[in-house]
A and B are shown apart, each in its own frame.
Chain A
Amino acid sequence: MPDPVIALHAVKKNYQDVPILDIARLELPAGIYWLQGENGAGKTTCMKVMAGLIPFKGEILLQGKVSSREHPVQFRRLINYAEAEPLYPSFLTGRDLLELYLNTKGGNPEEIRAISEKLGVHIFVNNPVSSYSSGMLKKLSLLLAFTGTPALILLDEPLITIDTRALAVLYDLIREYSAKGVSFCITSHQPLDEEELTVTGTLKVAHKNITLS
Chain B
Amino acid sequence: MRTTSAILSKIFTQRFYIQNTGFFLVLFYLLFGVVNGANLLAYHKGLMLGFLGNYTFLVLVLLLWTSYALKCVGFMLKTFQLQGYDFLYPTMGSIAKPARRIIWLRLHTAIYMPVLVYVAIALVIAVQQGYYPQAVIIAVVNIANCIWPLALYERKLEQPDVIFFTGHLQRWINRHFTKPPVLFFLYELFTNFPRRIVSTKLFSAGVLWLTFLIMARGDYFDLRGLQLGVMISVLSHMQLMVHHRAFDDTYLNFMENLPVSLFTHYMRLVGVYVITFLPEMIIITANAYTKTTPWGLITVFCTALSLMILFRTLLFFPKMNPEVHVRYTMLTSFIVLFMILGHYEWPAVLLLQTASAIIFFTKYRTYEPYIETGS
Q: In the complex, are the beta carbons of B251 and A99 less than 8 A apart?
A: no
Q: In the complex, are the beta carbons of B181 and A100 less than 8 A apart?
A: yes
| Contacts A52-B256, A99-B178, A104-B260 given; does A91 touch B191 at CB 8 Å | yes
- For residue A175, give the distance in angstroms from its CB to the closest CB of chain B: 24
Q: In the complex, are the beta carbons of A131 and B179 less than 8 A apart?
A: no
Question: When each residue 46-61 of chain A gets 1 if its CB lies under 8 Å from chain B and 0 otherwise, what string results?
Answer: 0000011111000000
Q: In the complex, are the beta carbons of A89 and B259 less than 8 A apart?
A: no
Kindly state whether residue A96 has any CB partner on chain B within 8 Å.
yes
Q: In the complex, are the beta carbons of A55 and B365 less than 8 A apart?
A: yes
Give the CA-CA distance A127 to B175 in the complex, in Å: 9
Kindly state whether residue B158 has any CB partner on chain A within 8 Å.
no
Q: In the complex, are the beta carbons of B258 and A89 less than 8 A apart?
A: no
| Contacts A55-B367, A86-B254, A104-B259 given; does A95 touch B178 at CB 8 Å | yes
The 8 Å CB contact of B257, one of A79, A88, A92, is A79
Nearest A residue to B180 by beta-carbon distance? A100
The 8 Å CB contact of B253, one of A15, A16, A53, A101, is A53
Give the CA-CA distance A86 to B250 in the complex, in Å: 11
Q: In the complex, are the beta carbons of A51 and B257 less than 8 A apart?
A: yes
Q: In the complex, are the beta carbons of B171 and A104 less than 8 A apart?
A: no
| Contacts A16-B373, A55-B365, A87-B251 given; does A127 touch B161 at CB 8 Å | yes
- For residue A80, give the distance in angstroms from its CB to the closest CB of chain B: 7
Q: In the complex, are the beta carbons of B171 and A52 less than 8 A apart?
A: no
- For residue A27, give the distance in angstroms from its CB to the closest CB of chain B: 22
**Docked complex: B145-188 residues within 8 A CB-CB of A:** 160-161, 163, 171, 174-175, 178-179, 181, 184, 187-188
Kindly state whether residue A83 has any CB partner on chain B within 8 Å.
yes
Question: When each residue 242-275 of chain B gets 1 if its CB lies under 8 Å from chain A and 0 otherwise, what string results?
Answer: 0000010011111011111110000000000000
Q: In the complex, are the beta carbons of B258 and A100 less than 8 A apart?
A: yes
List, in ascending order, chain A residues with CB within 8 A of B254's CB. 53, 83, 86, 88, 144
| Contacts A128-B163, A130-B161 given; does A53 touch B252 at CB 8 Å | no
- For residue B179, give the distance in angstroms from its CB to the closest CB of chain A: 5
- For residue B83, give the distance in angstroms from its CB to the closest CB of chain A: 11
Q: In the complex, are the beta carbons of B371 and A16 less than 8 A apart?
A: yes
Give the CA-CA distance A148 to B260 in the complex, in Å: 13
Give the CA-CA distance A53 to B262 in the complex, in Å: 14
Nearest A residue to B260 by beta-carbon distance? A104
Q: In the complex, are the beta carbons of B252 and A73 less than 8 A apart?
A: no
List, in ascending order, chain B residues with CB within 8 A of A127's CB. 161, 174
Kindly state whether residue A90 has any CB partner on chain B within 8 Å.
yes
**Docked complex: A21-55 residues within 8 A CB-CB of B:** 51-55
Nearest B residue to A154 by beta-carbon distance? B257
List, in ascending order, chain A residues with CB within 8 A of B187's CB. 89, 91-92
Nearest B residue to A69 by beta-carbon distance? B365
Question: When each residue 64-77 of chain A gets 1 if its CB lies under 8 Å from chain B and 0 otherwise, what string results?
Answer: 00000000111111
Q: In the complex, are the beta carbons of B257 and A131 less than 8 A apart?
A: no
List, in ascending order, chain B residues with CB within 8 A of A86's CB. 254
Kindly state whether residue A93 has any CB partner on chain B within 8 Å.
yes
Q: In the complex, are the beta carbons of A73 and B260 less than 8 A apart?
A: yes
Q: In the complex, are the beta carbons of B257 and A81 less than 8 A apart?
A: yes
Give the CA-CA distance A74 to B260 in the complex, in Å: 9
Q: In the complex, are the beta carbons of B161 and A80 less than 8 A apart?
A: no
Nearest A residue to B170 by beta-carbon distance? A128
Kindly state whether residue A139 has any CB partner on chain B within 8 Å.
no
List, in ascending order, chain A residues with CB within 8 A of B163's CB. 91, 128
List, in ascending order, chain A residues with CB within 8 A of B262's CB. 72
Q: In the complex, are the beta carbons of A131 and B368 less than 8 A apart?
A: no
Question: When each residue 140-151 of chain A gets 1 if its CB lies under 8 Å from chain B and 0 otherwise, what string results?
Answer: 000010001000
Q: In the complex, are the beta carbons of B188 and A53 less than 8 A apart?
A: no
Q: In the complex, are the beta carbons of A90 and B256 less than 8 A apart?
A: no
**Docked complex: B218-255 residues within 8 A CB-CB of A:** 247, 250-254
**Docked complex: B325-375 residues within 8 A CB-CB of A:** 365-368, 370-371, 373
Kindly state whether residue B14 has any CB partner on chain A within 8 Å.
no
Kindly state whether residue A126 has any CB partner on chain B within 8 Å.
yes
Give 15 CB contacts A-B under 8 Å. Answer: A16-B373, A53-B256, A53-B257, A55-B365, A55-B368, A73-B261, A76-B256, A86-B254, A89-B188, A91-B179, A104-B258, A105-B259, A126-B175, A128-B163, A130-B161
Contacts A76-B260, A92-B179 known; list 7 others, CB within 8 Å.
A54-B256, A55-B366, A87-B253, A89-B251, A91-B179, A91-B187, A96-B178
Q: Lowest 9 CB-CB distances: which A-B pairs, in order?
A: A131-B161, A77-B259, A76-B259, A55-B366, A104-B258, A89-B251, A91-B191, A91-B187, A73-B259
- Where the two chains meet, the residues of B that have a C-beta atom closer than 8 Å to any C-beta of A are 81, 160-161, 163, 171, 174-175, 178-179, 181, 184, 187-188, 191-192, 247, 250-254, 256-262, 365-368, 370-371, 373
